[in-house]
Amino acid sequence: GDSNNTLKAVASFPIGASINPQLLASNARYKAVLQENYNSISTENCAKMNRIQPKAGQFIWTDTDALVNFAKQSNMKVHGHTLIWHVAVPDWVTNFQGDSLAWEKLMKTHIQTVVGRYKGKIKSWDVVNEAFEDDGTYRKSVWYQHLGSDYVARCFQYAHEADPEALLFYNEFVNGRPKKQAAVLALLNDLKKRNIPINGIGVQMHITINTPEASILSEIRQYANTGLLVHLSELDIRMNPTLSKTFVVTDALKSAHALKYKTVAQIYRSVVTSGQQFGITNWNLGDADSYLRTANTCEDHPLLFDETYNRKLSYYGFIQGL
C-alpha cells in the first residue's frame, strides 16, 4: 500500500486502536492493517478486572502478555484499559463480604498486581473509568458503596506506587452531559490540587455523525484547560444515530462520516497544545469488530476500515484532519 500515507505517518501524535488478542492471532489482515496504520494499542477487554482477575487472587496474564509482546515486536506502545470500572466487576468481587479495610486491600492488591506486572511495559493506564452518572453524582459502584468517593484518588496513588513512571488517566464519556462534565472537571482539579498523581484525561468520544461540532469543541477545550494530557481514548462515530433496524448506507452518510472524523482531528489539533496531545485511539479496528454492533444490535459503520479492513472514505477524511 501507500505506506507513506498511513495514519501514524501523517499524525504528529500517537494513533491507537483497541485490540482483541484473539482477532490479532487469527486474522493476518487485521494484524497487517494494525501494524501499517497504528503505533499504539489499547487493551479492549483483556486487562479489565473480570478478565484479568476472574477469581480472587487468580490472575490470567495470557492475553495482555500477548498484546504487550506483539506491541514490542511491532514498535507500538500499549495503553492499559482499565483498572477499575463498574461494569467489569467479577462475581467474586460483587459477592465479597468484608469491612472497608478488606475492600481497600482488595482494590489496592488488584491495582498493584496488574500495574506491577507490566511496569515499564505498559506505560500508561486508564486507572478509573466512568465514575460518574449523567447527573454528575458518583456512580453507586461497589467501590463507591464500600469506600466512598475518595476511592478514585486512592486508585491513582496505588497505581503510582506500583509504577511511578506510568502515566495515569481518568477515563470518561461525557458528550452532551453538562452536569457530568462539570463533575469530571471538578474531580480533575481537586486531584491536581491535592497532588494526587494524575497525568491525563481520557475522553472516550463515542459520538455520532450528528454530534454538534460545538459540543465536541467545548468539551475538549475544557479538558485542555486543565493542563493535563488529553487522550481521545475511544473514538468511533456512529453512522446510524437513531439505531434504525432498516439502516441503509448512502453516499451522503459516508461523506458526513468522513467529515466528522476530519472535524474531530482538526479540533484536537487546534485546541489541545502539542505538549498535551497524548493521542487519538479508535475503539476497535474495522466495522465488523466494532462493539457497537453487538451493543446496539443494529447495523452501523463507525470506524475507518470496513468489514475486510479496507480503508473507507472516513479514513481519508481523518487523514485530512490529522
Distance in Å, CB of 56 to ligand XIL, minimum: 22
From 44, 130, 172, 219, the catalytic residue: 130
Closer of 61 and 291 to ligand XIL (Cβ): 291
DSSP string, 36-99: HH-SEEEESSTTSHHHHSSBTTB---HHHHHHHHHHHHTT-EEEEEEEEEGGG--HHHHT----
- How far, in Å, CA of 175 to CA of 156, rounded? 24
Q: Which residue is nearest to ligand XIL (CB)?
A: 291
Closer of 6 and 63 to ligand XIL (Cβ): 63
- How far, in Å, CA of 312 to CA of 306, rounded? 6
From 44, 172, 219, 234, the catalytic residue: 234
Answer for which of 117, 291, 298, 320 binds ligand XIL (CB under 6 A) is 291
**Considering the rule CB under 6 A, would residue 63 count as an interface residue with ligand XIL?**
no
Ranges within 201-220 binding ligand XIL (CB under 6 A)? 204
Closer of 234 and 300 to ligand XIL (Cβ): 234
Closer of 235 and 256 to ligand XIL (Cβ): 235
Q: Is 307 a catalytic residue?
A: no
- How far, in Å, CA of 278 to CA of 230, rounded? 6
Answer for which of 35, 45, 189, 320 binds ligand XIL (CB under 6 A) is 45
- Residues in contact with ligand XIL, shown as a per-residue x/- string from 87 to 126 under the rule CB under 6 A: ----------------------------------------
Separation in Å, CA 266 to CA 147, 216, 259, 280? 40, 11, 10, 12
- How far, in Å, CA of 86 to CA of 134, rounded? 15
User: What backbone torsions phi and psi does residue 135 show, to the nearest 5 degrees?
Assistant: -85, 5
Distance in Å, CB of 169 to ligand XIL, minimum: 11
Ranges within 130-189 binding ligand XIL (CB under 6 A)? none
Q: Is 165 a catalytic residue?
A: no
User: What backbone torsions phi and psi does residue 198 show, to the nearest 5 degrees?
Assistant: -115, 135
- How far, in Å, CA of 268 to CA of 231, rounded? 9
Amino acid residing at 85: W
Is 250 buried (19+), middle (13-18) or exposed (0-12) by CB count in 10 A?
exposed
Answer for which of 27, 64, 124, 129 binds ligand XIL (CB under 6 A) is 129
Query: Residue 109, preceding bond cis, omega within 30 degrees?
Result: no
Q: Report, as residue numbers or ranges, the catalytic residues.
A: 130, 234
Site residues, ligand XIL (CB under 6 A): 44-45, 129, 204, 234, 291
